[in-house]
Amino acid sequence: MNITIVGTGYVGLVTGACFAKIGHNCLCIDNDQSKISSLQAGEIPFYEPGLSELVTEMCTAGRLTFSTDSAEGVQRSPVIFIAVGTPATPSGKADLSYIEQVARTIAQSMNEYKVVVEKSTVPVQTGERVRMTIDRHISSEIPFDVASNPEFLREGSAIEDALHPDRIVLGVESERAESLLREVYAPLDAPILVTNIGSAEIIKHASNSFLAMKISYANALSQICELANADIDEVARGVGLDRRIGENFLRAGVGYGGSCFPKDVDAFCDIASELGYEFRLLQEVQAINREQRRYFLRKIEDALWIVKEKTVTIFGLSFKPNTDDLRQAPSLDVIEWLLEHGAKVHAHDPKAIPAMRKLYGDRIRYFEDPYEAAQDADCVAILTEWQIYGDLDLTRLKDSMKQAVMVDGRNLFDPQEVIGLGFEYKSIGRR
């Protein structure tokens, strides 16, 4: 089937490449000419495992193309996915202006029946707004449907998630739209849930918020465990082995980051409040997340006493492993605080250094090698659980440091083992 995707950001590009992989002819549209030229030259603007190879393979097979011509994009395909950004405004509301713009463009170029599908994460009732916008700008009586098909892929494992989803949610308002969307997903072996548009929109926000809630729950427990001389990893395992709860997303740490959870939880609170419900549970989820970063910083301060002039090495800049994405990464808050307190910051990350350099320039020092980054450091702070840190030779690391202090925000190591090697070791919620 011919499919058009508007927006070549993270979701748009991964979705386009994966639709091509399962046999569709996918055209990805973006109004940013330089982005489209780079994609046509095979350059991917961010790091995602396997994506570059998949895009090249699909372009070579002729099933994935890129263009700035939105009219062509609208006219060639019966199904058009909107995958443009919905960034947060300062008040926490989702900015839907790009969605509106795309809806207008689609309306102006429509030649025959289309299903216009929201793929971006949007607040409930956006579907109605998209329908209203298309209605207003369409020039003749062309039938169309709006649908919501939220995306559940995670950065770092996006292709796997897109090709093997736990479920596919189709929020539709006609049989015609449902049958076209079923055809899109027919090659995938995954349960399909058909709902109305509002339910599909809420399922996306509710899923992300629930996962964020699990993390904040584990983080709140981590503080109680520490006060009670218990161990959060043991507690999370004991709780998570109950199949009704599940072990996933109960890992305590420095708090969640990324382009989704912080933004989506805020946006969900905002739309709930607009509808007349104060979502205090989720407001607290966000508050616990912010507090967890301060709790981590107190550990660094406690370990160093005087932070000024001390060298702190950060292991892990991206908000999670296997990505170079720095959006809402804990590293940004931690580094800002360290610099404000007069520390010298050394940074290591397998992928995110170029992105970090754009933000911090020479305010911090960057290293390709973790042992060099820790040379003469007063403290190593672990913020992202990249595999390379779990594999470190800790004796070699300790020997390179000025003082062997490690503050581990991801509970990567066994405390007994690290302390046995001579480190002063602080982690999250453990004895």
- The binding track of 329-348 with respect to ligand UGA, each residue x by CB under 6 A or -, is --------------------
Give the nearest distance from C-beta 98 to ligand UGA in angstroms. Answer: 16
**Is the backbone of residue 30 left (phi > 0), alpha (psi -120 to 50) or beta?**
beta
Pick the closer one to ligand UGA by CB: 12 or 258.
Answer: 258
Residue 383 interacts with ligand UGA (CB under 6 A): yes or no:
no
Stretch that binds ligand UGA, among 73-81, 138-146, 247-255, 303-311 (CB under 6 A): 247-255
Question: Could you tell me the smallest distance in angstroms from the CB atom of residue 28 to ligand UGA?
Answer: 17
Q: Which residues of 15-35 are buried (b: 16+ CB within 10 A; e: fewer)?
A: bbbbbbbeebbbbbbbbeeeb
Residues 405, 304: contact at Cβ < 8 Å? yes
Smallest distance from ligand UGA to CB 256, Å: 3
107-126 footprint of ligand UGA as x/- string (CB under 6 A): --------------x-----
Query: Distance (Å, rounded) from C-alpha 240 to C-alpha 250?
Result: 7
Can you tell me the distance from the alpha carbon of 348 to that of 172, in angstroms, rounded to the nearest whole number? Answer: 46
Q: Give the three-class secondary structure for 42.
A: coil
249 lines the binding site for ligand UGA (CB under 6 A): yes
Check the CA dihedral 160-126-260-16 and report its sign: positive
- Binding span for ligand UGA by CB under 6 A among 34-42, 107-115, 257-265, 333-341: 257-265
Q: Residue 221 Cβ, how far from ligand UGA at the closest point, in Å?
A: 12
Nearest approach, Cβ of 399 to ligand UGA (angstroms)? 30
Contact 50, 159 (CB under 8 A): yes
Closer residue to ligand UGA (CB): 154 or 182: 154
Task: By CB under 6 A, name the one of 17, 184, 202, 215 that touches ligand UGA.
Answer: 215
Quick check: 208 binds ligand UGA (CB under 6 A)? yes
Helix (H) or strand (E) segment spanning residue 314:
strand 311-315
For 26, 39, 187, 347, 367, the CA distances from 23, given in Å and listed in that order, are: 9, 20, 8, 42, 42
- Would you say 28 or 401 has its CB closer to ligand UGA? 28
The one catalytic residue among 18, 260, 269, 379: 260
Site for ligand UGA (CB under 6 A): which residue of 47, 66, 315, 319? 319
Q: How far is the CB of 421 from ligand UGA (least distance, A)?
A: 26
Sort strands 168-171 and 192-195 into parallel, antiparallel or unpaired: parallel
Looking at the Cβ atoms of 73 and 321, the one nearer to ligand UGA is 321
Query: What is the C-alpha separation between 264 and 18, in angstroms, rounded?
Result: 24
Contacts of 275 (CB under 8 A, 6+ apart): 124
* Residues of this chain, 136-175, that bind ligand UGA according to CB under 6 A: 151-155
Q: Let me know if 28 is a catalytic residue.
A: no
Q: Is 411 in the site for ligand UGA (CB under 6 A)?
A: no
- Tally Cβ neighbours within 10 Å of residue 415: 17
* Min dist. Cβ of residue 290 to ligand UGA (A): 13
Kindly tell me which residue out of 184, 211, 269, 401 binds ligand UGA, with binding defined by CB under 6 A. Answer: 211
Computed over its alpha carbons, how large is the radius of gyration of the chain? 23
Q: What secondary structure does DSSP assign to 239-277, as a single string?
A: HHTSTTT-STT---SS---SSSHHHHHHHHHHHHHHHT-
* CB burial string 44-76: b at 16+ within 10 A, e below: beebbbebeebbeebbeeebbbbbeebeebbbb
Count of residues binding ligand UGA (CB under 6 A)?
A: 20
The verdict on 251 binding ligand UGA (CB under 6 A) reads yes
What positions carry a catalytic annotation? 260
Chain positions contacting ligand UGA, by CB under 6 A: 121, 151-155, 208, 211, 215, 249-251, 253, 256-258, 260-261, 319-320
